[in-house]
Amino acid sequence: MSGKVALVTGATGLLGRQVVKAFERGNWSVKGTGHSRADGSAVLKVDLAKSEDVEAALDSVRPNVVIHCAANRFPDKCDNDPEGTRALNVTATEGLASLCAARDIFLVYISTDYVFPGKPGDAPYGADAPPQPTNLYGQTKLDGELAVLNVFERAGKAGLGTVLRVPVLYGDAEMPAESAVNVLMDSVWKAQEPDAIMKMDHWALRYPTNTEDVGRVCLDIAVKYLSTNDRSALPQILQFSSEDKFTKYEICQAFGEIMGLPITAIEPNTAGNDPNAAVQRPYDCHLSTAALKDIGIDVSTQDFVAWWRWHVRAFRK
């Protein structure tokens, strides 16, 4: 494989930071792009909505692969800013894909398990299962997937653009609010306050997956696809997920046990969806990793509880 240069969008974010580290460990030359948190040197300041910014980054870095992590990824924030969400998750993604296709750059678009409806009994979802998002976030990520695949198809370069769907992520965070999982550790601490009482979802099933593992898989995908002559024979949609299964309440239980803290102030909420609610939350969007396994990529993951014990230095004899 000639040249080993990667460009990672959203490189200052929860996932992007670990993707950068994974490629560095693989002895690639890596540049990241960011926006509000970019320092201008290690991480280029790029507004993905501005094609001239994106073109300048691609032409200066000249990457073999772009890992597109940047997204508006919090469902409640998406609902509060639908136009901004669509601009980043769909329009900017399509623009990036077009510029990559024109330069023969391999693009990996990070998507989500929320492209699926998550109805009881449906999971696990294969990569070829029909998507049916239940919220705006899932819809914009699905539209981003379609934009990427269509751009490369129209350019006659199918296989140069690939989708990687992942579930809820956790890992080394600059602040707990970066992750819908990490932030639950805050909930466990708040539950220690006098008169604290809170409800926590104990209905929807989640498969928290470590950002380091996702970074490693992104590297493995890049190596595999760039070293394959006929990429069109490889799958265009891939999925990666841990097999660790928890409700949010069960994550709080695990954190309480790890920290030696009671969670009696946290009440499990098993109500599930209000049938009259406009947005129905997915119950179980578990992703099948069969497509990755089929092309020989390691889908093993770190153990959730063991990683957290290590992370908070809560070792047991």
**Candidates 109, 137, 225, 283; catalytic one:** 137
Beta 169-170 vs 65-68: how paired, if at all? unpaired
Residue 317, pLDDT > 60, answer no
pLDDT more than 90, % of the chain: 83
End-to-end CA distance of the chain: 47
| Residue pLDDT, tens place only, 69-99 | 998 877 777 888 889 889 889 999 999 999 9
CATH architecture of 5-170+208-242+286-294: 3-Layer(aba) Sandwich (3.40)
Comparing CA positions, the residue from 221, 228, 244 lying closest to residue 293 is: 221
pLDDT of residue 182: 96
Structure tokens at 84: 């901004």
125 counts as catalytic? no
The answer to whether 201 and 241 have CB atoms below 8 angstroms apart is no
- Whether omega for the bond prior to residue 124 falls within 30 degrees of 0, making it cis, is yes
Task: Give the helix/strand (H/E) hosting 213.
Answer: helix 211-226
The confidence band for 1, taking pLDDT boundaries of 50, 70 and 90, is: very low
- Residue pair 107/95 in contact by the 8 Å Cβ criterion: no
**pLDDT tens per residue across span 146-191:** 999 999 999 999 999 999 999 999 999 999 999 999 999 999 999 9
- Report residue 315's pLDDT band, with 50, 70 and 90 as the boundaries: low
What does the DSSP assignment read for 109-171?
A: EEEEGGGS---TTTPSBPTTSPP--SSHHHHHHHHHHHHHHHHHHHTT-TTSEEEEEE-SEES
Spans of all domains in the chain: 5-170+208-242+286-294, 176-204+244-285+303-311
**Residue 82 in tokens:** 């639908």
**What is the reported pLDDT for 38?**
66
pLDDT at 202 over 50: yes
Fold match, 5-170+208-242+286-294 / 176-204+244-285+303-311:
no
Contact between 190 and 198 (Cβ < 8 Å): yes
Contact indicator for 4, 24 with CB cutoff of 8 Å: no
The sign of the CA dihedral 124, 126, 129, 132 is: positive
Q: Where does the chain have alpha helices with state H?
A: 14-25, 51-61, 75-80, 82-86, 93-102, 136-154, 183-190, 211-226, 248-259, 290-294, 304-311
At the topology level, CATH places domain 176-204+244-285+303-311 in UDP-galactose 4-epimerase; domain 1 (3.90.25)
